[in-house]
Chain A
Amino acid sequence: MRVLVTGASGFLGREVVRAAADGGHEVVALVRPTARLDGLAWPTSVAVLRGDLRQLGDWTKELSRIEAVVHLAAAPSGDLPTQFSGTVVATENLLAHVPMKSLRRFVHVSSFSVYDYASLGFRGMLTEATPIDPAPEKRDAYTITKIAQERLVTAACEAAGVHLVVIRPGAIVGPGKDWGFGRVARVGAFDLIFSPGARFPLTYVSNCADAIVKALDAPVPAGSAYNIVDDELPTYGQFHRLGRRLRGDAVGSALYVPWFGVTLLGGAVSLVNALLFRGRAKLPEFLDRRRQRVRWRPMRYSNRAARMDLGWAPAASLEVAVRSLREEHEG
């Protein structure tokens, strides 16, 4: 299929382009005008289309023969107007110009962030059936915009009768993105590690890219959603120890705060916020009770549906993933 990949030069996009081309697809990689592509080593068959989805331009004229879309483009940082423009308005522009009526499939890459973590209990199982957060405005701009983006794509695909598959990855790791090996903050020579016994729902970037490419032609019902995490999920404590073993120079000694302490801290800060600031204080993630729950509450994760329906299996092991982080460092 002739597949348009948006956000193609991003951390995940560059792997998706490679995996889709290796899978025999004719890939059109949409990258921003200033994106640097040297070093990406994409196959020569990949066609590069330059454009910015936030603004209509010549890119809109190059989409007529597209048969499938993998939509990765988003603005994951900045304030709400910035993220809204780069995630939601960008998606609106894409949907207005891609030939929806003739599309065979639309693979939308969403996030674990859209889920309602308050609906899950301690050590609860996060699945595709977990509800979407009904109050994202109480979380952060990323959650707000990823939910708005997913709803926009779903509505447009339903209206046009396009076969939509939603992929919701956990924390994507790979060269250049090690999540600080689970570190919340650096305190002198120590790394503050919250909830060391909780699982870190990671997926290695090439594993995640494989799942996305599988979603392009897997025989799954329209509107299906799949959570993507790898098979071997380390705890935050284990992930940090792996990092320390590999990159002792950059990773400090662990200072553990168990989940009970984390939630107690969040509760105390929440009380102070309510009493002194009428709940208006904008708190960093590690002090915000709602966001603490998303990130550090011990939970269980499953990739069963993706394995069964997409025929996907994470090819790279945890060891390979972590080794790649070391190689990146050494490189």
Chain B
Amino acid sequence: MTRLRAAVIGCGAIAHEHLPYLSSSPRVELAAVCDSSKATASFMRDRFRAGAWFTDAASMLEEVRPEVVHVLTPPQTHAALVTMSLDAGAHVICEKPMTGSAAETETLLREARRRGLALVESRNLLFNDLAIAIDRLATNGKIGSVREVDVLLSLDLTAGPFGDLNLSGPGVHLPGGAVHDFLPHLAYLFLHFAGGPETVDHVSGFLENRSGNARVGFDHLDALIEAGDVRGRLRVASDVAPPAFRLVVRGTDRSAEGDFYNPFLRIEGGAKIGKRAPLEQIGSGLKLARAGVTNFFDKVRQHGTYHGMPRMLDAIYRALQDREEPPISEVDMIATARLVDRIVALGEEA
């Protein structure tokens, strides 16, 4: 099997989640890393045993001629770097959100298709244990027909670099502010578990700044979505504890609930549930206790929220090697970007 020559542009926090896979996979030769900071680029080259380091993306693309480029820079720089990488003949894996609007995303995807190259936006949470487990339940018909998909992200967006008032300018250059940076996760989770509708019928709700922190932009979202028979509520809250990333999928037969930060899976319902509901609750409690133990050991062995990332990357690289369609389709990416657009529009309406 010939290894694909990969390069990374942008060596910030998310690069620490991509590079362990790239430096250890038999499918990949990590040819180069690039960052505008020389100290960062050279450090990451050493840490992840990359072939070379650069501070200029154009020079890297010209000298290294990578077959796959990971664009991991801040979102407002993605479009130019994705285009530059496609022009250099490389497939591109881009961190979410690929751009600030569906129109820009569609343009980039069109450009990739025209060149016969793959352009994939990251969907790492779909490759986490929790998402895979709920997927399996849905596929096996245990949930019945899905009717509701709720996603809640509770995380203080003002506490991190997005809201750090020592730094000037907006925390993130996106129309939906800090919420926008996480929105693709919420949108693709909804669309995936709703059965993959290409469009949604109705979006309503609020996208607001409740903290008063100007740098963070929007830090609060409460959106109701309707797509055919499926409805959902997507929320981002910066002012509630504890941090959680909750996913609930409710169907005509059963409901499944879990959390990406502190994983557990609770399944309720079934044909025989009624008077036996207390027994089911006791069973759920025991499963929750078991999840706590698993969770503890997962934290010890560093099986964290990003554990789906290497699985996602491996699936993408396998598809590229086998000349097959990547596991994240163009249709899914466009549907996600369009839903994100409509949610961001709630902020403009406000």
A81 nearest CB neighbor, chain B only? B13
Q: Is B38 an interface residue (CB 8 A)?
A: yes
Name the one of B16, B37, B40, B167 contacting A52, with C-beta atoms under 8 angstroms: B167
Q: Is the CB of A89 closer than 8 A to any CB of chain B?
A: yes
Chain B hits for A79, CB < 8 A = 13
Query: Which one of A55, A57, A84 lies within 8 Å of B40 (CB-CB)?
Result: A84
* 1/0 contact string of A17-30 vs chain B (CB within 8 Å): 00000000000000
Q: Please tell me if the beta carbons of B167 and A277 are within 8 angstroms of each other in the complex.
A: no
Q: Is the CB of A92 within 8 A of B166?
A: no
Q: Which residues of B contact A137 (CB under 8 A)?
A: 47
For residues 1 through 59 of chain A, which have their beta carbon under 8 Å from a beta carbon of chain B?
32-34, 52, 54-55, 57
Q: Tell me if B's interface is mostly helix, strand, loop or mixed.
A: loop
User: Knowing A88-B39, A280-B301 touch, does A81 contact B165 (C-beta < 8 A)?
Assistant: no
Are B43 and A55 within 8 A (Cβ)? no
Query: Quick check: is A282 within 8 A (CB to CB) of the other chain?
Result: yes
With contacts A34-B166, A54-B167, A281-B302 known, is A89 near B39, CB below 8 A?
Answer: yes
Q: Is the CB of B300 within 8 A of A281?
A: yes
A120 within 8 A of B: no
- Across the two chains, which residue of chain B brings its CB closest to A80? B16
Q: Is the CB of A148 within 8 A of B43?
A: yes
Q: Are B300 and A277 in contact (CB under 8 A)?
A: yes
State which residues 78-126 of A face B: CB under 8 Å.
79-82, 84-85, 88-89, 91-92
What 1/0 mask marks residues of chain B from 203 to 226 whose CB sits below 8 Å from any chain A CB? 000000000000000000000000
When the two chains form their complex, are residues A89 and B40 in contact, meaning their CB atoms are under 8 A apart? yes
B13 cross-chain contacts in A, Cβ below 8 A = 79, 81-82
> At the interface, is chain A mostly helix, strand, loop or mixed?
helix
Q: Cβ of B140 < 8 Å from any Cβ of A?
A: no
A76 CA / B306 CA spacing, docked (Å): 24
Chain B residues with CB under 8 A of A55: 167-168
Taking the complex as formed, is A152 at the interface, i.e. its CB lies under 8 A from any CB of chain B?
yes
Q: Are B37 and A92 in contact (CB under 8 A)?
A: yes
Closest to B304 in A: A282
The distance from the CB of A94 to the nearest CB of chain B, in whole angstroms, is: 11
Taking the closest CB of chain B, its distance from the CB of A8, in whole angstroms, is 14
A89: chain B residues within 8 A (beta carbon): 37, 39-40
Q: How far is the CA of A255 from the CA of B28 in the complex (A)?
A: 52
- On A, residues with C-beta under 8 Å from B are 32-34, 52, 54-55, 57, 79-82, 84-85, 88-89, 91-92, 137, 148, 152, 277, 280-282
28 contacts between A and B (CB under 8 A): A32-B166, A33-B165, A33-B166, A33-B168, A34-B165, A34-B166, A52-B166, A52-B167, A55-B168, A57-B168, A79-B13, A81-B13, A81-B16, A84-B40, A84-B43, A85-B12, A88-B39, A88-B40, A88-B43, A92-B37, A92-B39, A148-B39, A148-B43, A152-B39, A277-B301, A280-B301, A280-B302, A281-B300
Q: Report which B residues bind A (CB closer than 8 A).
A: 12-13, 16, 37-40, 43, 47, 165-168, 300-302
